[in-house]
Structure 1
């Protein structure tokens, strides 16, 4: 009770002193003001040049809240019950600074309700020195705190207690916040703004409070759950003809999207889809129990006709989220020179080359161990080579990149092309005689084998009747003998 009465008397004396000084001199009592961000440390100044052989009684109190921190001459310390809960000591007055006349109060992890008017009372054996300090807490908050893309939310900057005459400015990711109207928010903007949660609004929101020529800041990070890959609409994915590609559609971890759908959009449209026009090699997302937030799709073998825009959509907490992805397909076109039949021109062709700033051709070879060697050849979209030269047999790779880095590559195999060239036709004409000769020899061998088989079968049929053969042979001999005798007579 004595403490509460003492603090009230001190405040009343200060108020009377201020009023008398103001009425007599027209001056104004400047009360020190401290701004601090919620969660940080605040230091309330209290200094005195008075000297005493004994240390003074130090009393820090808050208006309408009683004693915050007190130290008796004996060294006994006391803290208010609301400042030392759960074993934590949020208020402290460093003893090492007392010798220099500094009795400032430190408040750790300040909260909004810590804002207000504080009084420092120093009792030097009957001589009382009183200091008054105003603590203002700045806090940035979002409502609701857990956001899904598309939800309405508000961002608020509270200064407790509010400083009349102060101005405020919003910043997002260290840049002045510019709303969709294109007009930056001025310093006298509202302390609260209502927006629709989008990926573009994620990041660090900072409230800059300007007061009496000084600035103080407080920040908070806004996280919006939704589709995190790809991070932006109309992201381009590059793939070569014949290769496999993944179209990413990954939601924030911890959420389970429902009713996932993949569509292909009509050419030149971001709204109309083409039902049933997905490629046969298109494989929608699998329902993986380990990664329920991954709804990516894939194409096992990309064709040039698969280029275009695709849309991935799903429902999260009642909000339908979607992301548009553009598939850019690359291939190498081959054309034969009309003047040089053995020379071909390779052209690196993309379905959308709007982001491409550089093309580079490299020659890739492999040794017997499968080790790859890459040799840069030239810059440019086209490349002319001789297809009959064995030095050019191998892989020719076109690398295409943008100002931000590599986008992709596409490969062409020269040995596959040379099999269709004039060199192969010339080789065919040289081997024609050999093939015809071998064919004739084979036919002769077949005829000989057929005759041998026929003779064998005839002998086989005769040997089946040996007695008949003996009779025929005897009759034939007797006939020949009679004919000889008849001639002699």
Structure 2
């Protein structure tokens, strides 16, 4: 009897054109999977269609009378996850749609279409891809693993990872990545791992994808150590230290690290103008500090730290201070040289000098622009006096700037000496007038003192007046003669 069925099946295959093809379909967990089942357009009347899963029985069936049936585990009474669109039947498309696929939906499915004596049968392997994270929101420094699961697993498939649409390169020297298969990534949680992880599986020309988001909690700004903060001498600056929203660090501490300690930096003294964050800040996860007036000596490395869930989180940053050094101007030539100086130039790619000009309304405009670290002026004139700003740039744009004010003084300008001489003459004249007034006051005081001494002896005063009158009388008589 079995031999007869086998012979009948072979004859049916040869005479009716029955087909049996295996197709690979990948679908991400939670998405919609479409299992293809296509054949040549059949006769207008309704065929018999049945979808079944290996070892699970019927998934969906449609009889010739048009009635539909679902398997017990696919019943639409709970949620209708399975359907076969009737609108495609006339085109010979009997594909099965499975909504919100789950890992247990993975497996081998069979589509069988009977149309009279013609039988079409196709096999489809549905593989469900899913990315799992050991902890979706790990704390900075904790171990985290990201796994790529495929059900059923395709033996011989290649796996690659992307993070934020860029190929992910594991950290060198982490043994766990070399010892485990490529479908698992094990790393220490850092800001580098934050983003959208995508697992890409290649198998027999088909590609499966699945993604998951990973957020690492800790110090989010700065996002990495050795972050550089640029400022100018005399200005105020903020040293950022912002934890993830919701993380309130206990015992927050700021330190300035002594230079020369690479592995275990020793804390030093904080600057006099240093001001830590307020203990009752409206944003307790923001532990940023500030310096009210930066000095050139305040440059160096700073560290903020706090304890979160029993683990100490730290972030190191570097304060880079800029200033302008001016050469001693020559009284003979009036030349001035300005040099832009930074405590760390490792990120600086170029410098730019800008002459800042203000009009009567206080509106700022940019005048002369010159490239280079040093600005030299052979002669200081009214046109180039005023505010000069040194802008310094890195690979990604402007890093910061520092300004210097040039004053027009006598001896520095050979072109405009007249205005300076007028000021000098006015100053000399004012000094002479003041000297004359002082002499007059001194003489008046001297006369006053003399009269005061005479009034103390009335008889002597009478004799002096009498002698004076007689002398005047003799002089008049001599003139008359």
Same fold at TM > 0.5:
yes
Residue in 1 aligned with 2:293? 301
Q: Does 1:47 align with 2:43?
A: no
Q: 1:373 aligns with which of 348, 365, 378?
A: 365
Measure how far apart 1:185 and its partner are.
7.4
Question: Cα–Cα, structure 1 residues 410 and 369, in superposed 2: closer, same or farther, change >3 Å?
Answer: same
Q: Compared with structure 1, are the counterparts of its residues 45 and 87 closer, same or farther at alpha carbon in structure 2 (3 Å cutoff)?
A: same
**Residues 242 and 301, structure 1, Cα contact 8 Å, conserved in 2:** yes
For the Cα contact (< 8 Å) 1:62–1:118, is it kept in 2? yes
Please give the secondary structure, in 2, of the residue aligned with 1:269: coil
The equivalent of 2:468 in structure 1 is: none
CA RMSD of aligned residues (A): 3.8
Alignment match of 2:431 (pick from 427, 431, 435): 435
Contact 1:168 1:188 in 2 (8 A): no
Give the corresponding residue for 2:339: 347
Query: What's 2:318 paired with?
Result: 326
Asked whether 1:390 is paired with 2:382, we answer yes
Aligned to 1:233: 225
Cα separation, 2, equivalents of 1:103 and 1:91: 13
Structure 1 residue 447: deviation in Å?
5.6
Of 83, 90, 102, which residue of structure 2 is paired with 1:111?
Answer: 102
Q: Which moved more, 1:185-194 or 1:145-154?
A: 185-194
Deviations 1:262-286 (A, max 9, x none): 1111113344445451101111122
Query: Please, which of 164, 168, 171 is the counterpart of residue 159 of structure 2?
Result: 168
| 2:16 alignment counterpart | none
1:410 is paired with a residue whose SS is strand
Question: CA contact under 8 A between 1:168 and 1:210: conserved in structure 2?
Answer: yes
State the Cα deviation string for residues 242-281 of structure 1 (Å, max 9, x = none): 0011111112222222222111111133444454511011
1:136 is paired with a residue whose SS is: strand
Please give the residue correspondences for 1:151-300 in structure 2 after superposition, counting only pairs within 5 Å: 151-172=142-163, 173-181=165-173, 189-275=181-267, 277-300=269-292
1:321 Cα deviation (Å)?
1.7
Pair 342,127 (structure 1): closer, same or farther in 2 beyond 3 Å: closer
Matched residue SS, 1:320: strand
Give the Cα separation in 2 of the matches to 1:253 and 1:228.
9
C-alpha separation in 1, matches of 2:154 and 2:369: 69
The verdict on how the C-alpha distance between 1:243 and 1:453 changes in structure 2, with shifts beyond 3 A counting, is same
SS in 1 for 2:383: helix
Q: Distance in 2 between matches of 1:369 and 1:399?
A: 25
Once the two structures are overlaid, the 10-residue window that deviates more, 120-129 or 295-304, is: 120-129
CA distance in 1, matches of 2:331, 2:447: 57
Which stretches in structure 1 are left out of the alignment for 5+ residues? Answer: 1-12, 22-28, 460-489
Query: In structure 2, what is the equivalent of residue 135 of structure 1?
Result: 126
CA distance in 2, matches of 1:84, 1:333: 82
Segment drifting more, 291-300 vs 219-228: 219-228
Q: SS at the partner of 1:346?
A: strand
Q: Is 1:122 aligned to residue 113 of structure 2?
A: yes
1:12-34 residue CA offsets vs partner (Å, 9 max, x unmatched): x9xx979x98xxxxxxx753221
Superposed, 1:31-110 pairs within 5 Å as: 31-49=22-40, 51-80=42-71, 82-83=73-74, 88-110=79-101
Distance 1:332 1:248 in 2: 25
Judged with a 3 Å threshold, the aligned counterparts in structure 2 of structure 1 residues 67 and 432 are, in CA distance, closer, same or farther, namely same
Instruction: Measure how far apart 1:171 and its partner are.
Output: 3.6
**Counterpart in the other structure of 1:472:** none
What does residue 444 of structure 1 align with?
440
What secondary structure, in the 3-state scheme, does the structure 2 residue paired with 1:444 have?
Answer: helix
Q: Secondary structure at the match of 2:436?
A: helix
**Alignment partner, residue 357 of structure 1:** 349
Q: TM-score under structure 1 normalisation?
A: 0.77
Task: Mark the runs of 5 or more structure 2 residues left unpaired by the alignment.
Answer: 11-19, 456-481
So what's the TM-score if we normalise by structure 2?
Answer: 0.79
CA distance in 2, matches of 1:274, 1:354: 23
Change (3 A) 1:197 1:408: same
Kept after mapping to 1: 8 A contact 2:276/2:290? yes
User: Would the aligned equivalents of 1:361 and 1:378 in 2 still touch at CA under 8 Å?
Assistant: yes
